[in-house]
A and B are shown apart, each in its own frame.
Chain A
Amino acid sequence: MLLRLDKVQRHFGGVRAVDGVTLDVEKGAIQGLIGPNGAGKTTLVNVITGYVPFQAGIAWLESDQLTGLPAHRVAGLGIARTFQNIRLFKDLSAAENVIVGMHSRRRDDTLAQLGTLPAFRRDHRSRVNEAHRLMEVAGLDPGEVGHRPAGTLPYGDQRRLEIARALALQPRLLILDEPAAGMNPSEKQGIRELIERLNQDGLTILLIDHDMQLVMGVCTRVAVLNFGRKIADGTPQEVSTDPGVIKAYLGTGSEREVTSAPGATGVEEVAEEVRAAAATKRSAEPATAILEVRDLSISYGSVNAVRGASLRIAAGEVVALIGANGAGKTTILSALSGLIRPSSGIAVFDGLDLTTAKPSAIVRHGLAHVPEGREILGRQTVLENLELATWARRDRAAATADIATVMKRFPILAERKNMRAGTLSGGEAQMLAIARGLLAKPRLLLLDEPSLGLAPQMVDEVFAAIEEIHRDGTTILLVEQNALRALGIADRAYVLETGQILLSGSGDDLLHNPAVRRAYLGG
């Protein structure tokens, strides 16, 4: 055994982020660690690597105890990691990033610096050569990217560079936290090959990722976390057909029979004819649309998050936008509400150009965005949050009446109206966030992952509320990880994968589309 975790625990306030997790990782294995959002995977990694203290439980790396060690000591023992959000030293060149990684293997050379210049140059060159070698191992071209500031590299290269830097530690265990997030299938294939190559050279790897296909394809064993607990641990085959795992990913409402974990097969893999058939049956896009998006492209620095997406929404529709994590769904919504600016393309909402208008103007025009992660104002009371939601409105009397109406629709808010919003549970906070969105009296409501991190029962309540809102005539654009529920209530849907719209059709059509079923619904 290389890594042994024994009943590791970590709470934050009332949330059991990691709840008694026991896990063994064999030397030479590629261990997968998966679970829905908020399951505790990254927290577990943070505890193991010393960023967050253990509250209970022990961890060993072979014969070295990890419990209680600060992060730099854990790294010194030989556990290297990459980060979910890429933490490169952005202003340093790629090679310099890797050289920093050599820190713990390098002797202190302060005095050498001042004395013998030529000797130092030799040392430095050997370090640079080693950095280049590691970059090559990670699949980068040192000649091309070695000297460029890490922050300017293309996204895929940045991920690889983080891996190269981690390798500089000469680790016994490499922890990869979502190394393939936001990549297209061919880039993912490259990462997969890299992982296999590193493993063949003898490196033990712990892989966290949302891409089922990647995880099931490359790992020798997979462990599944949900709400901080380990709910499955076995071979990829065993885990992907485990009913508990399937339920965790799909939640309730899955009356249909499912045969494997969603995402275990990619949309691409399904036979071409099936996809083509699905495409022709697509529900026609409306002739008149209140929201029109054409060829929208959005980038973050060097990452092309969204490439040429187009969609249309007619008044009164519920349109769902589904796709894997990192596909770009949230990015599109943020561009529509004015939080970020697209690099090209058109987005018009009832005559207002969304690509140039200020967010406050967009809200006034009737588009409300309920963001992923809810973003409520924890320090203010529920009532204050609601009152703030009517900020943009001029009609004070009607606004007050609406607050009363919304509290009737979500009685839990009326109950807790004078409590600080930060004390609400996940589901209650989601209700508040939706209520807040409604109070702007939107004609178009953007809902980003409303069921994220909610227990199945709360998910039911949230979706019931969404249906009600729809019945009252509000147009809704819904982004959801829970594809089953989303397709269940949507009139039409679009499937987004790595920034591009791949399929579109009526909710029902897509629900029955084999490609979509295998990719997002577990068959």
Chain B
Amino acid sequence: MDFLIQLFTDPVGFWSSHTLLISQIAINSILASSMFVVLYSGQLSLAAPGFMAVGAYTAVLMSLYLHTPLAVNIAAGTALAGAAGVVVGLPVLRLRGVFLAIATIGFIEALSLGVILNLPITGEGLGLKNPDADPVGGIYPVLISMAVVVFFLWRLTKGRLGYAWTAIRQDELAALSQGIDVPRYKLIAFVLSAVLAGYAGGLESHLNFFVDPNEYGVPRTVQVLTFAVLGGSGNVIGPVVGALFLTTLPFVFQQAGDYIGVVSGVILILVIIFRPQGIIGRGGFAFVRPRWWPRPQVSAPSTG
């Protein structure tokens, strides 16, 4: 509770004492937005941490070995993440629902275990040190980035692309009947999500002095997924709210102390049961539905 009290009574002090937290919220929001893009197009992709890693390591390695400016490094990391998005996205286009989820988990684990933890250049299990990091000043570019990303995605969802994605999410087959090139638009969403995740990774790597190789595995992806689903992936602001809520949860519930894990779990279950569509929910998912899962709205039974 002290946390919230300080927020309202001493905003300036709050700002300076919680810089890193605010930056982290912004980074998590960008990650959640990356998740938003794939979920909005009906794809349960859990690959975000993998692309984050691509962005982070590229940016830091370039900084360490090529001594190029920060903007260039992050741009390169983002671009490389996008390219990785194409490479991973193409083969998995046909997969739906849990199958896509598992394939993307396969990707991040393979990346983690096969590359990050094993190549000397990435520092193997010890990670990389990044002396160029700027935890304090970094908050400005990060916050601005978050605003730009959210605005960009918001406009995107209102345009032709957004309509196509929503149609695909609701019903791929019906979307096809309206002339929407479903595989192409799914790939676009996938790659865009990779770009955003790579960008977030690049930014994050310059907030801390250390790139932790353990940050890009399954626990991270579970975290990002939770931001998006808990916040509600029906519109842009949902995942951001989810990220905000969950990142600050440990601080708000400081009293819980060591039991924060238990509290988080309980809150997660309660929210999803009582608001399955998320905190800011609207719109459903067109995943491969289990046969027995009752349909929420049914039209007249088949007569043909």
Chain A interfacial positions (CB closer than 8 Å to B): 37, 41-42, 49-51, 70-72, 75-76, 80-81, 83-92, 96, 99-101, 103-104, 106-110, 112-114, 120, 124, 151-152, 155, 158, 165-166, 168-169, 177-178, 181-182, 208, 210, 300-301, 303, 305, 325-326, 330-331
Judge whether B97 is part of the interface by a CB distance below 8 angstroms.
no
12 pairs, CB–CB < 8 Å, chain A vs chain B: A75-B176, A83-B177, A87-B173, A89-B171, A100-B175, A103-B163, A109-B160, A110-B161, A178-B304, A181-B304, A182-B303, A208-B304
A301 contacts B164, C-beta separation under 8 Å: no
Q: A158 to B189: give the CA distance in the assembly, Å.
A: 29
Q: A289 to B179: give the CA distance in the assembly, Å.
A: 55
A210 contacts B177, C-beta separation under 8 Å: no
Counting from the closest, the 5 A-B pairs by CB-CB distance are: A104-B179, A182-B300, A325-B303, A71-B176, A75-B179
A103 contacts B170, C-beta separation under 8 Å: no
Q: A71 to B296: give the CA distance in the assembly, Å.
A: 27
B283's partner among A81, A91, A99, A155 (CB-CB below 8 A) is: A91
Judge whether B259 is part of the interface by a CB distance below 8 angstroms.
no
With A178-B303, A303-B299, A331-B301 in contact, do A108 and B160 touch (Cβ < 8 Å)? yes
Judge whether B9 is part of the interface by a CB distance below 8 angstroms.
no
A151 contacts B297, C-beta separation under 8 Å: yes
Which residues of chain B (252-292) have a CB below 8 Å from chain A? 282-284
Which residues of chain B (158-191) have a CB below 8 Å from chain A? 158-161, 163-164, 166-167, 170-171, 173-182
Q: A364 to B164: give the CA distance in the assembly, Å.
A: 49
Q: A326 to B304: give the CA distance in the assembly, Å.
A: 9
Q: A330 to B177: give the CA distance in the assembly, Å.
A: 29
A301's partner among B158, B160, B299 (CB-CB below 8 A) is: B299
Count of residues in B whose CB is under 8 Å from the partner chain:
36
- Closest B residue to A210 by beta carbon equals B303
B177 CB contacts on chain A under 8 angstroms: 49, 71, 75, 80-81, 83, 87, 166
Q: A177 to B177: give the CA distance in the assembly, Å.
A: 13
- B205 → A minimal CB distance (Å): 27
Task: Tell me the dominant secondary structure on chain A's binding face.
Answer: mixed
Judge whether B156 is part of the interface by a CB distance below 8 angstroms.
yes
Judge whether B155 is part of the interface by a CB distance below 8 angstroms.
yes
B158 CB contacts on chain A under 8 angstroms: 113, 120, 124
Q: A49 to B304: give the CA distance in the assembly, Å.
A: 18
B179 contacts A113, C-beta separation under 8 Å: no
Q: A64 to B281: give the CA distance in the assembly, Å.
A: 44
Instruction: Count CB-based A-B contacts (< 8 Å).
Output: 138
A92 CB contacts on chain B under 8 angstroms: 166-167, 170
A103's partner among B160, B282, B301, B304 (CB-CB below 8 A) is: B160
- A135 → B minimal CB distance (Å): 16
B166 CB contacts on chain A under 8 angstroms: 89, 92, 96, 100
- A94 → B minimal CB distance (Å): 14
Which residues of chain B (126-171) have a CB below 8 Å from chain A? 152, 155-156, 158-161, 163-164, 166-167, 170-171
B178 CB contacts on chain A under 8 angstroms: 72, 75, 100-101, 103-104, 165, 168-169
Most buried by B among A90, A169, A330, A331: A90
B284's partner among A37, A50, A90, A331 (CB-CB below 8 A) is: A90
A51 contacts B170, C-beta separation under 8 Å: no
With A72-B181, A100-B164, A101-B178 in contact, do A85 and B302 touch (Cβ < 8 Å)? yes
A89 contacts B155, C-beta separation under 8 Å: no
A100 CB contacts on chain B under 8 angstroms: 163-164, 166-167, 175, 178, 180
Q: A360 to B193: give the CA distance in the assembly, Å.
A: 47
B297 CB contacts on chain A under 8 angstroms: 90, 151-152, 301
Q: Given contact pairs A72-B175, A80-B177, A90-B297, enumerate 10 new A-B contacts (beta carbons under 8 Å).
A: A72-B178, A72-B181, A76-B179, A89-B166, A89-B170, A100-B166, A107-B160, A120-B158, A303-B298, A331-B301
A110 CB contacts on chain B under 8 angstroms: 156, 159-161
Q: A208 to B166: give the CA distance in the assembly, Å.
A: 29
Q: A110 to B163: give the CA distance in the assembly, Å.
A: 11
- B10 → A minimal CB distance (Å): 37
A91 contacts B170, C-beta separation under 8 Å: yes
Most buried by A among B159, B181, B182, B301: B301
Q: A80 to B164: give the CA distance in the assembly, Å.
A: 17
B298 contacts A109, C-beta separation under 8 Å: no
- A115 → B minimal CB distance (Å): 9
- A127 → B minimal CB distance (Å): 10
B163 contacts A99, C-beta separation under 8 Å: yes
- Closest B residue to A115 by beta carbon equals B155
B298 contacts A300, C-beta separation under 8 Å: yes
A70 contacts B176, C-beta separation under 8 Å: yes
Q: A124 to B162: give the CA distance in the assembly, Å.
A: 13
- A15 → B minimal CB distance (Å): 15
A81 CB contacts on chain B under 8 angstroms: 177
Q: A86 to B181: give the CA distance in the assembly, Å.
A: 21
B299 contacts A155, C-beta separation under 8 Å: yes
B180's partner among A37, A103, A152, A158 (CB-CB below 8 A) is: A103
B302 contacts A96, C-beta separation under 8 Å: no
Q: A158 to B175: give the CA distance in the assembly, Å.
A: 17
- A377 → B minimal CB distance (Å): 13
- Closest B residue to A99 by beta carbon equals B163
With A84-B304, A158-B299, A181-B303 in contact, do A106 and B176 touch (Cβ < 8 Å)? no
With A72-B179, A113-B158, A113-B159 in contact, do A303 and B300 touch (Cβ < 8 Å)? yes
B303 CB contacts on chain A under 8 angstroms: 84, 178, 181-182, 210, 325-326
- B93 → A minimal CB distance (Å): 13
Q: A72 to B171: give the CA distance in the assembly, Å.
A: 13
- Closest B residue to A158 by beta carbon equals B299
Which residues of chain B (213-256) have a CB below 8 Å from chain A? 234
With A71-B176, A75-B177, A104-B179 in contact, do A90 and B170 touch (Cβ < 8 Å)? yes
B173 contacts A51, C-beta separation under 8 Å: yes
B298 CB contacts on chain A under 8 angstroms: 300-301, 303
Q: A50 to B167: give the CA distance in the assembly, Å.
A: 18
- A338 → B minimal CB distance (Å): 14
- B125 → A minimal CB distance (Å): 42
A85 contacts B164, C-beta separation under 8 Å: no
B160 contacts A155, C-beta separation under 8 Å: no
Q: A181 to B302: give the CA distance in the assembly, Å.
A: 9
B300 contacts A181, C-beta separation under 8 Å: yes
B167 CB contacts on chain A under 8 angstroms: 89, 92, 100, 103
B155 contacts A113, C-beta separation under 8 Å: yes
B163 CB contacts on chain A under 8 angstroms: 96, 99-100, 103
- A492 → B minimal CB distance (Å): 25
- Closest B residue to A84 by beta carbon equals B304
Q: A81 to B177: give the CA distance in the assembly, Å.
A: 7
Q: A182 to B304: give the CA distance in the assembly, Å.
A: 12
B171 CB contacts on chain A under 8 angstroms: 87, 89
Q: A83 to B303: give the CA distance in the assembly, Å.
A: 12
